[in-house]
Structures are given as C-alpha cells and as structure tokens.
Amino acid sequence: MDFKEEFEKKVMKETKKLIKKDKKLLVAVSGGKDSITILYLLHKWGYDVEALMIDLGFRFFKEHVDNAREFCRELGIKLHIASVKKELGRGMRELQLRAGKSNCFTCGVIKRWLINRKAKELGFEKVVTGHNLDDYAESILMNIFMNNRNASRNLRSPFRIKPLNYIPEKEIEKYAREMGFKINYEACPYSDNAFRRLVLNMMREYEISAMNVVKMFEKTSMKEEGKFRKCSICGGPSSGEICNACRLINLIKKK
C-alpha cells in the first residue's frame, strides 16, 4: 500500500467513527491544505457535502477564495461564501486593528461566529473542519499554560466534526502536495501567534508527542463535555451568558 492509500485508510477510519453517510454535511474551508483535503476525501467517499468559506477580506486571501471556488467547481461541490465585510461592515484587518487584541484571537473568534451563523441559516447543526493533530495538541498546551478552561472546552465542541483531529499535519501536507491540490502554502502575513510558535518549538525541542498530549487531555476533559449554552445576543454556542464574538463586536462598535 502506498502513502496515499494508507493515509486515506487512516482518515476513513476516523471519519466512519464520527459521521454517518446519510447526513448532509457542511465543510468549513479556508482554502488551506487541511480543509481542502477533508472536503476532497468526503466527496470522494460519496458523502453529501457542501462547503462554506469565510472570506476574511485580506488582500492575500483572494487567491484562497479563487482556489476554493475552482476546486469546488471542478468537483461539483456547492460552495457558500460569507464575507466578513458584508456581515460586519468591515474587513478582518480593520476589525483586528479596532479590536486591539491579538490578530489571531480576533480573526478566530469572528470566523467561528460567522461559521456558526451561516451554518444555522443553511440548516446545518454541525460543521466539519480540517483541524489536525498538531493544531489540537498546540491548542491544548496553550490553554493549559493560560489556564483557559473555556477555550479548552471549545476544543471539544459538539458543534464541530473534526475527522483530521488525530492526523499529523505533515502527513496531510504530503498528501495534499502529492495530490497536486491548488493551494497556497504560504503563512498568513497577519499571524502574530508567537505563543503558538513557542509551544510548537518546545514540542519539537523536547520531542513531546502530540498524540500523548491529546490522549491525556481527552481522558481528563470528558466530563467537561456538553456544558455549552446559548449566547443571549446571537443564540450561538457559548460557554457564558454572551459569546466571545458578541463581546468583541460590541467592543469594536464602541471604538
């Protein structure tokens, strides 16, 4: 069995544990290797999929949108595009500058909020995402260091389906490259996630296994599941009375 066959077998095993074939699925795509790979595979295996892309409005992002459009057109997958600028009156860069928080925090919170909102409008309860094992382990460690229990709970959100959660990033990248998917592999110029990079470097230097971090987290966090409530403003999932996105949007409006 070659690498691609082995990779697909592994992803299929994870997918079968999480998704029944009779359900229509909405896949959140960013135009990156992870989400394009899972969208491609679900479609290949006969799942009924539609895609949702959040257009962040960054200048460099146009290429991602065009790539996703072309990819979905070639495979005959319906693609919904929600624009941050249309929904909130400002592009993501302006929102980041106004919010005065870390770029990736603002971007991540608004993206999640918009995905939830669009999914609800389109009639989907859950959304498939392309998060991989390395993202998962890094986020767990970051949340532990910051004592961020709410963010830890979000990692196991019942509103997300993550078939690549146990698949290492380098395997996904190898697969996407071998498949020749048209993807921009360059890093986002607005990424300021120095802390994530620090955690990643620490994991590499001390050879910390991402899978071990994830296993330990899952063993100890099972009892935390299901503690989501509805945000009193937007009705989206929230760990408190008002979700992070509504708090952030209010803050930006006041500026």
Binding site for Zn ion (CB under 5 A): 231, 233-234, 236, 243, 246
* Contacted entry of Zn ion, ligand SF4, none for residue 233, CB cut-off 5 to 8 Å set by kind: Zn ion
Contacts of 30 (CB under 8 A, 6+ apart): 53, 54, 64, 130
Q: Tell me which of 37, 103, 143, 165 binds ligand SF4, using CB under 6 A.
A: 103
Per CB under 6 A, 245 contacts ligand SF4: no
Q: How many residues bind ligand SF4 (CB under 6 A)?
A: 7
Give the C-alpha separation, 38 to 135, whole Å: 15
Interface residues for ligand SF4 in 133-192 (CB under 6 A)? 188, 190-191
Name the 3-class secondary structure at 3: helix
Name the 3-class secondary structure at 51: strand
The residue among 114, 142, 108, 109 whose CA lies nearest residue 127 is 114
Per CB under 6 A, 109 contacts ligand SF4: no
Q: Closer to ligand SF4 at the Cβ: 18 or 194?
A: 194
Give the C-alpha separation, 253 to 232, whole Å: 18
Per CB under 6 A, 54 contacts ligand SF4: no
Both tokens of 254, joined, read 């006041």
Per CB under 6 A, 107 contacts ligand SF4: yes
Binding residues for ligand SF4, rule: CB under 6 A, are 103-104, 107-108, 188, 190-191
